[in-house]
Amino acid sequence: MAISRILLITLAALFVGACSQPPTPYAWQIPEGFPTPNVPVSNPMTEESVALGRALFFEPALSGNGAVSCSTCHMPAHAFSEPRTHSHGSTGDKVRRNAMALVNVGYNGTLTWAHNGFTTIEQQLMVPLFGEHPVEMGITGNEEAILARFKTDDYRQLFAAAYGDEAATFDRVVKALASFVRSLTSFNSPFDDYAYRQQDDAMSESALRGMELFFSERLECFHCHGGFNFTQSSKHAFQQLDLQPFHNTGLYNLDGEGAYPQEDTGLVEITLNAADMGKFRAPTLRNIELSAPYMHDGSLPSLDAVIAFYAAGGRGEGINSPLKSPFVSGFTLTAEEHQDLKQFLLSLTDEEFVQKRENNAPTLPPKVAL
């Protein structure tokens, strides 16, 4: 009797002790001199919230019918994008856009291909989690059943370590997923070795010539894909300006007035301003080699096609679109210059990022039974 009581008290003390351990502030893996991404005060980055978010990211039990996880559309080997033109949600619904690569997302001033109102990852995640048109994860209507799946020992420990107690709630699920997405930072490409770590031989001669072209007024790429993340749409400790740039690159012009296919007209859907027809966010070009096919609808299959597209100043009638950005005016490249530009884009691949154990599924706890 006495022994079991002592045992109980000890166990209780251990339990309370384990739960009251404060979470560990997250150790960013960012080179010296670079800013950390903005983090909402309501969702501080901790090692424990990132660990829970990682488990949830690869967890099919988070979808209503257990058919998909975030990683079905955001695959680590493809820089967390997918090798398809567009996605399908858990119930088979077509998702009209190409899944975005998740690379340094924490720096993005706005989220998704064309939305000026999503300014935090937490906000944006409501769409894949709860959206019904189309259904992606298919949580709406299955909330209770899904949360009940997260009562396994592994998840109870993960939730307790991250948030102080074992309760699985969607508020915590969203916060943890957003923390994991913020942790996906990539700064180990040959370009980074060359530009920021002063390794003069990190890039080939061809890639260096391509870099000159990329940053030239002749090609204009850097106007829209500028800064260390190769997109203007950045917000972080050094840049709090509220830049929200979206551009029409002349992919379509269905009516001579710049119309895009009705299925996806870009920013105009949100702003209802006719001038925003066909405007999309210029995405980061980091790890671009891995995230084919390209553009919001995956309609350009390869980097060669993308380079030919910009050289032509758009595609088909899109070239004559009155809504096309003046920076997409076309240029002529020799075959060698085309290769050089491509080599530069290839120098933005960070092998460590896609292979890193922490970014991949094998470190996960066992999957939850449905």
Tell me which residues in 41-60 interact with ligand HEC (CB under 6 A): 57
Judged by CB under 6 A, how many residues of this single chain contact ligand HEC? Answer: 51
Among 181, 267, 323, 354, binds ligand HEC (CB under 6 A): 181
Determine the distance from the C-alpha atom of residue 369 to the mean position of all C-alpha atoms in its chain, rounded to a whole number: 28
* Residues 6+ positions from 330 with CB-CB distance below 8 Å: 310, 311, 312, 313, 314, 319
Q: Which two tokens stand for residue 137?
A: 């994860």
146 makes contact with ligand HEC (CB under 6 A)? no
Is the CB of 9 or the CB of 113 nearer to ligand HEC? 113
Helix axes 303-312, 335-346, angle to 10 degrees: 130
Is the CB of 46 or the CB of 281 nearer to ligand HEC? 281
Q: Which two tokens stand for residue 347?
A: 């120098």
The nearest distance, CB 20 to ligand HEC, in angstroms, is 29
Stretch in the footprint of ligand HEC (CB under 6 A) among 18-26, 36-44, 97-105, 201-209 = 97-105
Q: Is the dihedral of CA 243, 359, 351, 302 positive or negative?
A: negative
- For 10, 100, 347, the CA distances from 188, given in Å and listed in that order, are 47, 20, 10
Q: Residue 39: helix, strand or coil by DSSP?
A: coil
124 makes contact with ligand HEC (CB under 6 A)? yes
135 makes contact with ligand HEC (CB under 6 A)? no
289 makes contact with ligand HEC (CB under 6 A)? no
129 makes contact with ligand HEC (CB under 6 A)? yes
The nearest distance, CB 82 to ligand HEC, in angstroms, is 7
314 makes contact with ligand HEC (CB under 6 A)? no
Stretch in the footprint of ligand HEC (CB under 6 A) among 1-9, 32-40, 203-211, 245-253 = 245-253
Using an 8 Å Cβ cutoff, are 286 and 230 in contact? yes
- Return the number of other C-beta atoms located less than 10 Å from residue 183's C-beta: 23
108 makes contact with ligand HEC (CB under 6 A)? yes
Burial-class residue 355 by CB neighbours within 10 Å (0-12, 13-18, 19+).
exposed
- For 40, 230, 338, the CA distances from 343, given in Å and listed in that order, are 37, 16, 9
Among 78, 172, 286, 296, binds ligand HEC (CB under 6 A): 296
Among 52, 73, 168, 346, binds ligand HEC (CB under 6 A): 73
The nearest distance, CB 247 to ligand HEC, in angstroms, is 4
- Return the number of other C-beta atoms located less than 10 Å from residue 9's C-beta: 10
Nearest of 289, 295, 290 to residue 341 by alpha carbon = 289
The nearest distance, CB 288 to ligand HEC, in angstroms, is 5
Stretch in the footprint of ligand HEC (CB under 6 A) among 23-31, 39-47, 66-74, 140-148 = 66-74
Is the CB of 99 or the CB of 200 nearer to ligand HEC? 99
Burial-class residue 278 by CB neighbours within 10 Å (0-12, 13-18, 19+).
buried
68 makes contact with ligand HEC (CB under 6 A)? yes
283 makes contact with ligand HEC (CB under 6 A)? yes
Is the CB of 11 or the CB of 119 nearer to ligand HEC? 119
Among 51, 55, 75, 105, binds ligand HEC (CB under 6 A): 105
Q: Which two tokens stand for residue 324?
A: 């096309």
Using an 8 Å Cβ cutoff, are 63 and 90 in contact? yes
Stretch in the footprint of ligand HEC (CB under 6 A) among 18-26, 27-35, 161-169, 223-231 = 223-231
220 makes contact with ligand HEC (CB under 6 A)? yes
Residue positions counted in the chain: 370
Furthest CA-CA distance within the chain: 88
Does residue 92 come out as left (phi exceeding 0), alpha (psi in the -120 to 50 range) or beta?
A: left
182 makes contact with ligand HEC (CB under 6 A)? no
CA 359/CA 46 separation, integer angstroms: 16
Q: Catalog residues that contact ligand HEC under the rule CB under 6 A.
A: 57, 68, 70, 72-74, 87, 89, 95, 97, 99-102, 105, 108, 111-113, 121, 124-125, 128-129, 136-137, 177, 181, 219-221, 223-225, 247, 249, 251, 280, 282-283, 285, 288, 291, 294-296, 306, 310, 325, 327-328
